[in-house]
Amino acid sequence: MKAEIIAVGTELLLGQIVNTNAQFISQECAAQGIDVYVQTVVGDNQERLLSSLQLAASRADVVICTGGLGPTQDDLTKDTLAAWMGRQLLIHEPSMQAISEMFASRGIHMVESNRRQANMIEGSDPLHNETGLAVGNALTYEGTHFILLPGPPKEMKPMFMNQAIPWLQAHMTDEVPLYSKMLKFAGIGESALEYQLIDLIQDQSDPTLAPYAKEGEVTIRVTTRAHSEMEGERKIASTITKIQKRLGDHLYAEQDVPIETIVLELLGKKGLTLTVAESCSGGLLSDLLTSIPGSSQSFIGGIICYSNALKHKLLGVPMEVLEGAGAPGAVSSETAVILAEQLLVRTGSDFGVSLTGVAGPSPSEGKPVGLVYLGLAQKNAITQVFTLNLSGNRETIKLRAAKRALYELWKQLKEN
Amino acid sequence: MKAEIIAVGTELLLGQIVNTNAQFISQECAAQGIDVYVQTVVGDNQERLLSSLQLAASRADVVICTGGLGPTQDDLTKDTLAAWMGRQLLIHEPSMQAISEMFASRGIHMVESNRRQANMIEGSDPLHNETGLAVGNALTYEGTHFILLPGPPKEMKPMFMNQAIPWLQAHMTDEVPLYSKMLKFAGIGESALEYQLIDLIQDQSDPTLAPYAKEGEVTIRVTTRAHSEMEGERKIASTITKIQKRLGDHLYAEQDVPIETIVLELLGKKGLTLTVAESCSGGLLSDLLTSIPGSSQSFIGGIICYSNALKHKLLGVPMEVLEGAGAPGAVSSETAVILAEQLLVRTGSDFGVSLTGVAGPSPSEGKPVGLVYLGLAQKNAITQVFTLNLSGNRETIKLRAAKRALYELWKQLKEN
């Protein structure tokens, strides 16, 4: 099945936002065995939108549109398509009711234009909007399927995953669906990982292996075609085993979750608690952990000891360790160890993780950008300290330091 | 001048990377007064690439391509265009020399395909590649200008800014460039802001106003056409004054910077320090602050008091305030005030900001998702507390709470 994606919105053409919707939809289409041939962005202009829709329909089996479903006169996707097809726009009553209730509950007067968000093209199927007001549409016209999704990613993503994909699957007739598994790795870079798997990557035919790196983690998508999960699992089993053998120390999940999810799960299962002392990572490690719902069960908090004064006052690092001629300094294994151990003393947590280093852009204490010490203290165990030499800009170094801390913690939890 | 952007690369269609090139080029075109009408992504396929090039050329004055200039057989942009135009590909000698030297200096044998990166379409002007090997091309064919840029952003950006824009300016005959200013607002939602400016937005002709919201902040781009910065400033002055009068309490910058930058600047100028106590925001506020280089001058640290135990142990909130029948609870103005004030006591900072609330997805202490208390303590001043009712998912509530804290701090700093 050939697909084209059309994103509608002048803000994209002005470069005010980046087209992450096209990326998301492309990824998910690839996972479904739908080949995306073209991505297009057009503005909120009826004539150019129509011309893009017609061109895409002439080439593709499915045209997936995002944007232009909102309440304003700029939101033209349904109107344009309905006019071209010679169909009416009808009100989808359940959506209309949800819109009215939302306005009533907030005590805001609903203006007439908000009714537009409940519009359906005659003969289309509604795609429920879990996180917003505008209802999506799915329909077939002259042999081409059209999927109309809202523009805001938080509305588009659940609608695409939970509504549009099942609709498309029901309309894909003779294709064997793709079955794929995501393997997630931490504590290893993309090139080092590829090097370990180079024979599998080069010889691949079925299953295929697609490695990619993002946000401090590396993912491999292992893909085959299968009619059932069981058949899919069987076809990829020997490849997965080979990868596990070579990279088991880095393979933290066989599903697309960040490592913080797995660390929190392991802590939760064992009834253990975690605190962190963040200097160079500046709160990012805590932020990653607390982004996972339910994290409060195991992550009880931490200290952002950004200045030396707070490393001393809040976590008792002696000033003579931190400053002065010949002192190890704030960026040192000594400081990392004290920070991690004092977390246990002062909070009573089972694990204490510390990060202290140079995030950049300038060196600090005469130490180079990217040098980071990671302390890992655990009740009734010897404290470990790791010296990291990280590359990248300030943001990347913060993220790599935080992810490395999670990786070392995962290794510790996995082994015990 | 009407432009279309074509990004070439199968990795974009597979969703492995996001098309930040299109965003960058669109932004810079807008700044030059070049209107981008369509962005297209096509794969490394000669037939589809040709069809996209021909379509764009039929509609636009300038077609800007990125990608497909590399050494491999997949890199087809110059070949495709040259074949269509019936022109030869010639070697650009200075580029060829740079390529040979690079290989020689690394002691690597240069394979024949690397010569492809020095190719020029007959009759084109070279666009020098400051940061890579593939030379860019600029040419005019049947009245349409073509700009061929490499795909990697670190090569594309300097080539576009330093080579392609001057080339385009020399080929733009009678257009006046755009001049625009970004106004940044905090503590107000997009719709409330639009409501305050609805007359200006609806009546706009020159300058134009484009509001948009992202990541807890609202931006308005005010745009006119002008030959110089001075003329631009003069043409937008009265509009800016009107906006300042109505929304001065929310307008924190007349440039595109996040509010944490301005808060840190004000703290730095006044020689004041800041600490934070984060419960529901879980480290995000610290992460935002420490993402700004130089933040350590004013931001000395904080406490992630995620659990009640740590609110008590590290910041002295009495257990009888936090728990038990009739207690205010962790999510209360009482707790917010104690957290903020204890920051001053325990760290010696000039400002202490606390956030405690329900980030979701489930209610807590019988209190609804989105209810957040923000405490703002300052040396020798009465502590303020704000009750926020935020909407959105867990991530959004964390972000809105953190941005609101920065907004209240900015107001405080601005007034003193």
A270 and A292 together in one domain: yes
> Number of structural domains, chain A?
3
Among positive and negative, which fits the CA dihedral B408, B409, B415, B416?
positive
Question: Measured between alpha carbons, how far is B59 from B41 in angstroms, rounded to an integer?
Answer: 16
Residue A75 in this model has a pLDDT that exceeds 90: no
B164 and B266 together in one domain: no
SS3 of residue A396 by DSSP: helix
> In terms of CA atoms, which chain B residue is nearest residue A59?
B48
Please indicate whether, in this complex, the C-beta atoms of B16 and A212 are within 8 angstroms of each other. Answer: yes
Please indicate whether, in this complex, the C-beta atoms of B41 and A39 are within 8 angstroms of each other. Answer: yes
Q: A113 vs chain B: nearest CA distance in angstroms?
A: 15
Burial of residue A286 (CB within 10 Å: 0-12, 13-18, 19+) is: buried
Question: Measured between alpha carbons, how far is B130 from A381 in angstroms, rounded to an integer?
Answer: 53
| B19: chain A residues, CB-CB within 8 Å | 18-19, 22-23, 39
In this complex, the residue of B41, B305, B393 whose CB is nearest that of residue A301 is B305
> In terms of CA atoms, which chain B residue is nearest residue A287?
B283
SS3 of residue B360 by DSSP: coil
Chain B interface, best mutation among A160, A286, A292, by max B CB count within 10 A: A286
At B384, is the pLDDT very low, low, confident or very high (cuts 50, 70, 90)?
very high
Residue B111 in this model has a pLDDT that exceeds 80: no
Helix (H) or strand (E) holding A233: helix A229-247
Question: Measured between alpha carbons, how far is A141 from A62 in angstroms, rounded to an integer?
Answer: 10
What distances in angstroms separate CA A399 from CA A9, A285, A391, one per listed residue?
32, 8, 11
How is A150-169 classified by DSSP, letter by letter?
-SSHHHHHHHIIIIIHHHHH
Instruction: Tell me if B103 sits within 8 A of B115, measured CB to CB.
Output: no
Q: A415 vs chain B: nearest CA distance in angstroms?
A: 27
What pLDDT is stored for residue B69 in this prediction? 93
Question: Measured between alpha carbons, how far is B36 from B25 in angstroms, rounded to an integer?
Answer: 9
What pLDDT is stored for residue B103 in this prediction? 83
Please indicate whether, in this complex, the C-beta atoms of A40 and B43 are within 8 angstroms of each other. Answer: no
Please indicate whether, in this complex, the C-beta atoms of A38 and B41 are within 8 angstroms of each other. Answer: yes
Instruction: Tell me if B257 sits within 8 A of B195, measured CB to CB.
Output: no
Surface of A (159-218) touching B: CB under 8 A:
210, 212
B203 and B161 together in one domain: no
Instruction: Tell me the β-bridge partners of A2.
Output: A35
Domain containing B313: what range?
259-415
* Strands lying side by side in the sheet with B251-253: B208-214, B217-225, B178-185, B251-253
> Which amino acid belongs to residue A254?
E
What pLDDT is stored for residue A335 in this prediction? 98
Chain A interface, best mutation among B11, B13, B54, by max A CB count within 10 A: B13
Last residue of a domain, one of A118, A149, A171: A171
Question: What integer best gives the mean pLDDT of chain B?
Answer: 93
Please indicate whether, in this complex, the C-beta atoms of A300 and B310 are within 8 angstroms of each other. Answer: yes
ipTM value: 0.78
Q: B93 vs chain A: nearest CA distance in angstroms?
A: 33
Contacts by B259-262, CB closer than 8 A, 24 or more apart: B259/B184, B259/B186, B259/B217, B259/B403, B259/B406, B259/B407, B259/B410, B260/B288, B260/B289, B260/B291, B260/B292, B260/B295, B260/B406, B261/B292, B262/B410
Question: Measured between alpha carbons, how far is B331 from B352 in angstroms, rounded to an integer?
Answer: 17
Chain A interface, best mutation among B64, B195, B307, by max A CB count within 10 A: B307
Residue A357 in this model has a pLDDT that exceeds 70: yes
Question: Measured between alpha carbons, how far is A409 from A376 in angstroms, rounded to an integer?
Answer: 7
| B161: chain A residues, CB-CB within 8 Å | none
Instruction: Tell me if A200 sits within 8 A of A243, measured CB to CB.
Output: yes
Please indicate whether, in this complex, the C-beta atoms of B398 and A25 are within 8 angstroms of each other. Answer: no
Alpha helices in A14-139 (DSSP H): 20-32, 46-59, 77-85, 93-106
Closest Cα partner for A79 from A167, A156, A148?
A: A148
CATH of the domain at A383: 3.90.950.20
| A27: chain B residues, CB-CB within 8 Å | 14-16
A325 and A402 together in one domain: yes
Q: Report how many Cβ contacts below 8 Å link chain A to chain B.
A: 243
Structure tokens at A142: 């002259």
What pLDDT is stored for residue B72 in this prediction? 78
Helix (H) or strand (E) holding B374: strand B371-378
At A86, is the pLDDT very low, low, confident or very high (cuts 50, 70, 90)?
very high
Question: Measured between alpha carbons, how far is B311 from A354 in angstroms, rounded to an integer?
Answer: 20
CATH of the domain at B11: 3.40.980.10
* Other CB atoms within 10 A of residue B188 CB: 19
A244 and A326 together in one domain: no
A275 and A408 together in one domain: yes
SS3 of residue A95 by DSSP: helix
- B175 or A194: which leads in pLDDT: A194
B194 and B244 together in one domain: yes
In this complex, the residue of A16, A210, A398 whose CB is nearest that of residue B212 is A16
Instruction: Tell me if B168 sits within 8 A of B182, measured CB to CB.
Output: no
Residue B314 in this model has a pLDDT that exceeds 80: yes
B154 and B10 together in one domain: yes
Residue B56 in this model has a pLDDT that exceeds 90: yes
CATH of the domain at A236: 3.30.70.2860
* Other CB atoms within 10 A of residue A293 CB: 14
| B40: chain A residues, CB-CB within 8 Å | 38-41
B284 and B373 together in one domain: yes
- B211 or B67: which leads in pLDDT: B67
What distances in angstroms separate CA B209 from CA B182, B189, B199, one per listed residue?
10, 16, 11
Surface of A (129-148) touching B: CB under 8 A:
131
> In terms of CA atoms, which chain B residue is nearest residue A306?
B301
B135 and B88 together in one domain: yes
**Per-residue pLDDT tens digits for A111-162:** 778 889 999 999 999 999 998 899 999 999 999 999 999 999 999 999 999 9
Compute the CA torsion angle B188, B194, B199, B203 (nearest 10 deg).
Answer: 140
B296 and B328 together in one domain: yes
Please indicate whether, in this complex, the C-beta atoms of A285 and B283 are within 8 angstroms of each other. Answer: yes
Burial of residue B386 (CB within 10 Å: 0-12, 13-18, 19+) is: middle
Instruction: Tell me if A92 sits within 8 A of A177, measured CB to CB.
Output: no
Instruction: Tell me if A260 sits within 8 A of A271, measured CB to CB.
Output: no
In this complex, the residue of B26, B290, B310 whose CB is nearest that of residue A347 is B310
Question: Measured between alpha carbons, how far is A396 from A382 in angstroms, rounded to an integer?
Answer: 30
Please indicate whether, in this complex, the C-beta atoms of A12 and B26 are within 8 angstroms of each other. Answer: yes
Residue A216 in this model has a pLDDT that exceeds 80: no
What pLDDT is stored for residue B183 in this prediction? 95
Question: Measured between alpha carbons, how far is A272 from A267 in angstroms, rounded to an integer?
Answer: 5
What pLDDT is stored for residue A174 in this prediction? 65
Weakest-pLDDT range from A192-201, A304-313, A350-359, B323-332 = A192-201
Last residue of a domain, one of A113, A142, A171: A171
Please indicate whether, in this complex, the C-beta atoms of B306 and A300 are within 8 angstroms of each other. Answer: yes
B226 and B277 together in one domain: no
Instruction: Tell me if B224 sits within 8 A of B178, measured CB to CB.
Output: yes
How many residues does this entry show for chain A? 416
Last residue of a domain, one of A140, A171, A202: A171
**Can you say how many angstroms the Cα of residue A318 is from the centroid of all Cα atoms in its chain?**
40
Chain A interface, best mutation among B304, B347, B391, by max A CB count within 10 A: B304
Residue B216 in this model has a pLDDT that exceeds 80: no
| A49: chain B residues, CB-CB within 8 Å | none
In this complex, the residue of A13, A314, A394 whose CB is nearest that of residue B39 is A13
Surface of A (346-405) touching B: CB under 8 A:
346-348, 359-362, 394-395, 398
